[in-house]
Amino acid sequence: MRATSALAAHTSRIGLIASVSTTFTEPYNLARQILSLDHISGGRAGWNLVTSSAGEKNFGRALPAHDDRYAIALEYADVVRALWESWDADAVVYDDAGRQIVRPDKVRRIDWNGAHYSVQGPLNLSRSPQNRPILAQAGSSAEGTELGGRVADVIFTTGLTELEPSIDVVRAYKRAAQSHDRRADGIKILPGVAPVIGSTDEEAKRQWDKLVDKIDFEAGRKSLAGQFGGIDFDGVDLDEPIRLDSLPRTEAVEGRRSRFGVFRKLVESGRVKTVRDAPWVGGGTAAPPSDQSVRAAIQAKSTIPKFAWKKVGITLSFM
């Protein structure tokens, strides 16, 4: 959050979206911080709503179960939105002497009393210059999709690497949006991409090989286990085929469920056969570019043809 405030002072056109967890923070503080950033930046702020799958040891409390984290997040997001709307756009006016006046009838308490939060409000900040900060959401399990469909303007996804599963993810978000009386095309889906760039294909390939060479697979095993909620890869030989029946069902994973789902599908389709095949599974879709321009590289390397996205009516942006 502090970094985005510093960036706001030195930039004028980029959007500033901070990731803040609903599991370890309070909605009132979050609503104030993001809306303050929005005012400081002249309406360029956003919040990436994450539920977190680790980190509880820093907060002296147990990590709630996956579905409970999302139940908390749904209410949290509703409280934040209510707080952001607790001042009408015309609540602040100027009198003849140029003094700023707040019109009391344009500012309301929210008197929230829910299962997880009790918040009186109103916020102590006037309405956002962009009406409300942008809401992004990351985590595409069924519960994440429901949350994103209800509240998000932007979805950060990871590993949309194969055509059919990717279309399913996008369609599910559209359906969730429509079930909340929102326009299906009101949500922008941003697949994570980690391009390796060089001035020629050969240079990019060399960079890619260097990166892969530096991977500490032992640490990677632990990282995968951490992200997937403790699934144990310790006994698995790096070059031995991963047995599908040794992996849990995606719905049973308590950690980053959608990321595990991507991993499982890659194992199912044979694109990932061994732990060594999967150095990039934990992040976005990483691929060495096959062309000199990043855009062309992404399009060329994407296994999701552009026409397919058109078919499902989605505007794609890359982050």
Ligand X SMILES: Cc1cc2nc3c(=O)[nH]c(=O)nc-3n(C[C@H](O)[C@H](O)[C@H](O)COP(=O)(O)O)c2cc1C
Q: Which residues in this chain contact ligand X in the complex, by CB under 6 A?
A: 19, 21, 50-53, 66, 138-141, 144, 156, 158, 192, 256-259
Distance separating alpha carbons of residues 164 and 161, to the nearest angstrom: 9
Closest CB to ligand X among 58 and 113? 58
Query: What percent helix, strand, coil does the chain show, rounded to 5?
Result: 45, 15, 40
Closest CB to ligand X among 174 and 256? 256
Nearest distance from C-beta of residue 45 to ligand X, angstroms: 16
Nearest distance from C-beta of residue 251 to ligand X, angstroms: 10
- The amino acid at residue 26 is E
Closest CB to ligand X among 127 and 256? 256
Nearest distance from C-beta of residue 39 to ligand X, angstroms: 23
On whether the CB atoms of residues 87 and 107 are closer than 8 A, the answer is: yes
Nearest distance from C-beta of residue 122 to ligand X, angstroms: 28
CA 25 distance to own-chain centroid: 17
Structure tokens at 155: 């979805």
Closest CB to ligand X among 91 and 151? 151
End-to-end C-alpha distance for the chain, whole angstroms? 19
**Strand bridging mode 16-21 / 112-113:** unpaired
Distance separating alpha carbons of residues 137 and 285, to the nearest angstrom: 18
Q: Is the peptide bond between 27 and the residue preceding it cis, with omega within 30 degrees of 0?
A: no
Closest CB to ligand X among 87 and 263? 263
Q: Which of 118, 166, 204, 158 is nearest to 303 (CA)?
A: 166
Nearest distance from C-beta of residue 185 to ligand X, angstroms: 21
Nearest distance from C-beta of residue 140 to ligand X, angstroms: 6
Distance separating alpha carbons of residues 222 and 96, to the nearest angstrom: 65
CB-closest chain residue to ligand X: 139
Closest CB to ligand X among 121 and 144? 144
Nearest distance from C-beta of residue 244 to ligand X, angstroms: 20
Closest CB to ligand X among 53 and 126? 53
CA 7 distance to own-chain centroid: 20
Closest CB to ligand X among 114 and 283? 283
Distance separating alpha carbons of residues 167 and 175, to the nearest angstrom: 12
Rg of the Cα atoms in the chain: 22
Residues 6+ apart with CB under 8 A from 295: none
Nearest distance from C-beta of residue 300 to ligand X, angstroms: 23
Handedness of CA 72, 74, 75, 79 (dihedral sign): positive
